[in-house]
Amino acid sequence: MKQLEISLFIITITIIIFLVRVMDSLTISKNLVDVIDAASSRYIASKEWRQTLDSFGIYLQTPGCTSLPQYPSKFELSRNYLTLCYDNEAFDIWPAIYRKSGELLVNEIKQQYKLDNLTAVFKTLDTTAGYFSVMKNAVDTGICDVSLSATAISGDRPSQVHFQFVVSDGSVFQSYAQQQLPKATIKSIPGYDDAWNMILNKTAHAFVADALDLYVWVRYHKSSCATCKVILFGDELRFGTFITNQFQSSSVSTWRVENVFWSLLLIVFMMFIN
């Protein structure tokens, strides 16, 4: 019986440690949100970010904040890295742009809080199951701290996630094509790669997508698509990075973790007195 009690005690303590770690990792604090907001507003206004966009031919005006969000007095992060994600369907120049934005974001935080060991961990995600749903799930479940991909701010997306910063861009989506081109045969595809191939082998007459993406692709594929051209239409939209909107205050986060710990500890105590 003594051996059984010892085994149960070890198992229970292991469960406590595991659950505390899980709860802590899945609870996004308001502190993290405020830090990322403050850092984002500053790096997008930096000369280095503007030069990065210019070097890739992205000549769009980057809006600044009328009043910069203030940094919290301290950064309440128990690890020395931020996980930054983007879609693995990103093509040509976009991975380099996303990684640069992540580096600038982390550097801003490092300088503000003197965190020399803080690093950026980049992760790519397969979004063929649905771009926004995959990226949103990643930040909601703690797979990523920030989605770096340029996500269009449209429909009810602003209510589902917490966007950081935006730049202007002309863009149209599948719903627009369905509404405005009722006589066209519209084929929905999961990613850009298939679309480019369909244009090159002439199995599709046109690819309706983000104007900036199309300009970049045509620019880098003139030799294989000499007659390709981009025609702008549709409404102007904004795009930006985002994090989860399922965050709470640090005090609530601490209470949740402590609540799990003491509840399980009480179970252990009851086991032994019985």
pLDDT reported for residue 172: 44
pLDDT in tens, 33-88: 999 999 999 998 899 998 998 888 776 666 655 678 899 999 998 899 999 999 99
- The band of 165, judged by pLDDT with boundaries at 50, 70 and 90, is low
pLDDT in tens, 222-263: 888 888 888 777 666 677 888 888 776 554 444 444 555 555
pLDDT reported for residue 270: 55
pLDDT at 145 over 90: yes
CB 125 within 8 A of CB 83: no
Q: What is the mean pLDDT of the chain?
A: 77
Q: What is the mean pLDDT of residues 209-222?
A: 80
CB 120 within 8 A of CB 103: yes
pLDDT at 205 over 60: yes
pLDDT reported for residue 185: 77
pLDDT reported for residue 263: 58
State what percent of residues in the chain have pLDDT above 70. Answer: 71
Residue 205: count of CB within 10 angstroms of its CB: 9
pLDDT at 157 over 50: yes
pLDDT reported for residue 64: 59
> What per-residue string of b and e applies to 178-191 under the rule 16 or more CB within 10 Å gives b?
eeeeeeeeeeeeeb
Residue keyed to tokens 């930040």: 139
Q: How far apart are CA 221 and CA 93, in angstroms?
A: 13
pLDDT reported for residue 170: 35
pLDDT reported for residue 147: 94
pLDDT reported for residue 8: 57
- The band of 173, judged by pLDDT with boundaries at 50, 70 and 90, is low
Q: What is the mean pLDDT of residues 88-94?
A: 84
pLDDT in tens, 5-35: 556 556 655 655 555 554 444 557 889 999 9
The span from the first CA to the last CA of the chain, in angstroms, equals 12
- The band of 108, judged by pLDDT with boundaries at 50, 70 and 90, is very high
Integer-rounded Cα radius of gyration of the chain: 23
